[in-house]
Structure 1
Amino acid sequence: MDPIVEVVALMLGFASWVMVGVAIPNRYWKTSTVDGNVITTSTLYENLWMSCATDSTGVHNCREFPSLLALSGYLQASRALMIASVVLGTFGLVAALIGIQCCKAGGENYELKGKIAATGGVFFILQGLCTMISVSWYAFNITQEFFNPIYPGTKYELGEGLYIGWCSGTLAICGGVCLVFACKSSTEDSKSAYPYQPSRGTVYSGAASRRDAASTYDKNAYV
């Protein structure tokens, strides 16, 4: 496998893993909309863990959600998926670091290292899928409430935390796909048969050739 592809895939996976760590504590997963409001004295914003408010003087007040079981189902699922994304990304980074050719941790068995690197690519893909499902599900509920004319509560818009999550998921999936397919093609090439293989039934010996030449010479001497 091309070492450049390995390094690029590893960098994409690492960048996606860092962005997941940035997206989880980001406070602006959704922000209150100003659509239809003439005067706004405060701005509300939430993430997976807390709800905050900012008044016109710039004072921030945040309150953590008091109960996990009292939260909406999609919010609990988004929490679990984001945590799983961090764990899967950690496994992917470790496997990719061991499996790339420029790392000597796995020895000189490049076929085994390729399989380990491909496993890291699978972890990156799973990380990206978990992140994309989490942020997309969260965004779907925001838009559903926003366009619902009879929704009585505060309406929100998409925050920057969701965009960071989408970017993270895209990078993770791209890096994982590159790593998996590059390692797969490298493994298949190493297992392909040699283009020319002589028949095993015929064995040529140097001693036998010398005996044949000697017998021919002896016959010619008596002619």
Structure 2
Amino acid sequence: MAAFARRKAERLARPDPSRKRALDARAAELARLLNARERFCTASSCDGRVIVTDTDGTGIQKKNCTWLFVTHDPCVKSDVMTALEKATGDVVFKFEPFVLHVLCRELQDAQLLAVRSTHCLEVPLSHKGRLMVSEEYIEFLVHVANQKMEENLRRIDRFHKGLELALEAAVPADTLFPEGPEKSHSVYVHRRKRRTAQEHANPSRELEPQDDTESSLDLFAEIMI
């Protein structure tokens, strides 16, 4: 336990290694929420972004990669076209959704945060400096990416609310069960059973179409192992 506390303190004391040198606003709120608990330590995060990158065509995008454009807000076609004017290699248009990497003290803490979502977009636009798609298609991609950005923000809000509820239910295990980690694990099981019993008592609630464990962030408390 002490080793995790030391590692957390060392990590949080480091300068931000991102290009921005600061947390994105929404990710910062979630980082503060988790880092206030001794069982969690955030490692890296991003609110979600649209980026246009240029590579040398080797297929290794993280090496020899130039960022031509990046935004954490909705974009317009002219943003992409301006970026393409600077392209010399293989350009890719991407939408990357919210991501949050968290170090957890114990396995059951990680299980509480077991969330998965697929909400990406990645499309090649040019090859060796030559544009391979029409401007009309680029405008369509921008529209799709902006829709994904809007949905991404809704998911962050749902995740934040759900995380607050789950932490309120689970984190008191530190004081309720001081005997050892096997005791603290039981709080997750008991909370899950109680929630299941409540749902059985109220079977009228139906999941919305997006409420599946692969694509919805507001169900993370439901997929505790």
* Same fold? TM cut 0.5: no
Q: Indicate the structure with greater strand content.
A: 2
Scaled by the length of structure 1, what TM-score is found?
0.28
Q: Which of the pair has the greater relative contact order for Cα pairs under 8 Å at 6+ separation? A: 1
Scaled by the length of structure 2, what TM-score is found?
0.28
Q: Indicate the structure with greater helix content.
A: 1
Larger Rg, first or second structure (1 or 2): 1
